[in-house]
Amino acid sequence: MSSISNANSGFTGTKNVIDACVECKVKRLIYTSSPSVVFDGIHGIHNGDESLPYPDQHNDNYSATKAEGEALVLNANGKEGLLTCCIRPSGIFGPGDRLLVPSLVASARSGKSKFLIGDGNNMYDFTYVENVAHAHICAEQALHSLCGSEETGAGKVIKFDFCILV
């Protein structure tokens, strides 16, 4: 994992949330992460799932700090009754989106989308915002069902299956 100092990183807020959860005796915490936490910017991910390790070097600060935040959340699992998990939706879009869909349309209109990177078999997931919300509900229900069980399986990344493949 990258070596970003706590003082300058974007995951200080995540630590504060975890601390507040413990202090207020919150039982379940779901962290919205990103698939970029397992991408090094160089090597493609083929048949990737939640078991992929973090790379030694991240592609950018966003990915590095999301990975640091995700690791904090996963490490907080089981502390003082707090169950945790992470989800990794990608390319989130939905009603009112002014970034993803408009940029895809603009790219197509300008003729920039006629180029292929790689062998043409590359895939990237785009996730509808309502599916992200539903994933949070499912994650909370899964953690809730584990409350009080000896082998929780919590503290793991939950595979995210609500995707539109483009």
- 119 band by pLDDT with thresholds 50, 70 and 90: confident
pLDDT tens-digit readout, 139-166:
988 888 877 544 444 555 444 333 222 2
pLDDT of residue 98: 87
pLDDT tens-digit readout, 54-71:
999 998 999 999 999 999
Stronger pLDDT, 127 or 118, i.e. the higher one = 127
Q: Known catalytic residues?
A: 66
Residue 14 scores a pLDDT above 70: yes
Stronger pLDDT, 122 or 88, i.e. the higher one = 88
Stronger pLDDT, 136 or 108, i.e. the higher one = 136
pLDDT of residue 132: 93
Three-state SS for the chain is: CCCCCHHHCCCHHHHHHHHHHHHCCCCEEEEECCHHHHCCCCCCCCCCCCCCCCCCCCCCHHHHHHHHHHHHHHHCCCHHHCEEEEECCCCEECCCCCCHHHHHHHHHHCCHHHCCCCCCCCCCEEEEHHHHHHHHHHHHHHHHHHCCCCCCCCCCECCCCCCEEC
Longest pairwise C-alpha distance within the chain? 57
pLDDT tens-digit readout, 19-35:
999 998 888 999 999 99
CB atoms within 10 A of CB 66: 24
pLDDT of residue 86: 93
* pLDDT > 90: percent of the chain: 39
pLDDT of residue 87: 92
Domains along the chain? 6-165 (3.40.50.720)
pLDDT of residue 46: 80
